Amino acid sequence: MSDSKLEELEIRLLLEAVFEKYGYDFRDYAMASVRRRILSFMEIHKIEKISELIPLVLHNKKTFNLFIKRLSITVTEMFRDPFVYKFIRENVIDILRTYPFIKVWHAGCASGEEVYSLAILLKEEGLLERTQIYATDFNNIALNKAKEGIFDIKNIKKYSVNYRDAGGKDSLSSYYHSKYDSVMMNNELKKNITFANHNLITDTVFGEMHLIFCRNVMIYFNKELQGKVFDLFDKSLIPRGFLCLGSKESLKFSTIEEKYNTLGLKERVYQKLS
């Protein structure tokens, strides 16, 4: 057995162990990314072989928590890819406006920066009051951070630029108050957001959505899993509902592609056909 085959086997056993014991399923993740995260975890914790990790994650809850954090946390920012928010403001909002009540699902919201971005946009368009945003993630640590809505002040300058490029109508500073090294998002934004644990791989449909926002989550999945999650989104969207993906993700070659109209190619905004 070659070294790389052996390593593949070790990763498979490790992910199987994590799934069997804790229910977190990374088995259908894009292997190159998972592997890199596992190896970087091993480097930090001075672990030589992947298989040595198995007893550690099975018997040591603390190590497991750190491991799961390393395996699942992604980096995001407020108004990431401002042109996407601008596009939504200019092309999607007016259609959403025609509904008496709007449901938005932000799937894989991580630490929440983009959830608040969307809430700000909806508020400025006068829609937040009649919108219910479901912000979900399978990682409770990230989810709690999102719920708190407290972000590092050192990133605010960049976020403000993004906000402006996204077509912001006010000043980003009207949506948070700063304290020491942090900013805290205003409660009026949080009022209509429900933060909840939801696992895209194991959990199912929980509502009929007008807009699903899921950015830079699919890139971490393999093709098969991508297909399953696209199906889940398709089942969760109302006819003429919108799906917004990360700027390098696409419905191209997916099984639901033909049921959707590409509204913004660069922005990766799709609309379900009626």
Partner 1 sequence: MSFNKKKYEIVVIGVSAGGMQILPEILSGIKDNFPLPVIIVNHIAPSSDNYFAMLLQEKCKLKVKEADEKELIENSVIYTSPPNYHLLIESDKTFCLSVDQRINYARPSIDVLFYSASDVYKSRIISVVLTGANSDGAKGARYIKKNGGLVIVQDPATAYIEVMPQSVIDICEVDFILNPNQIAEKLNKLAEINI
Q: Which residues bind partner 1 (CB under 8 A)?
A: 4, 8, 30-33, 35-37, 74-76, 216, 218-220, 223, 246, 248-250
Closest approach, Cβ 22 to partner 1, in A, equals 22
* Tokens of residue 132, six digits: 């219910």
199 versus 247: smaller Cβ distance to partner 1:
247
Closest approach, Cβ 79 to partner 1, in A, equals 12
Residue 248 carries which DSSP code? T
Which CA distances in Å does 160 have to 131, 156, 172, 212? 24, 6, 6, 24
27 versus 130: smaller Cβ distance to partner 1:
27
33 versus 51: smaller Cβ distance to partner 1:
33
Q: Are 155 and 77 in contact (CB under 8 A)?
A: yes
128 versus 218: smaller Cβ distance to partner 1:
218
Closest approach, Cβ 31 to partner 1, in A, equals 6
Q: What are phi and psi of 241, to 5 degrees?
A: -75, 165
Closest approach, Cβ 246 to partner 1, in A, equals 8
Closest approach, Cβ 101 to partner 1, in A, equals 32
The rounded Cα 237 to chain-centroid distance in angstroms is 17
192 versus 216: smaller Cβ distance to partner 1:
216
Composition of the chain by helix, strand, coil, percent to 5: 50, 20, 30
Q: Are 151 and 183 in contact (CB under 8 A)?
A: yes
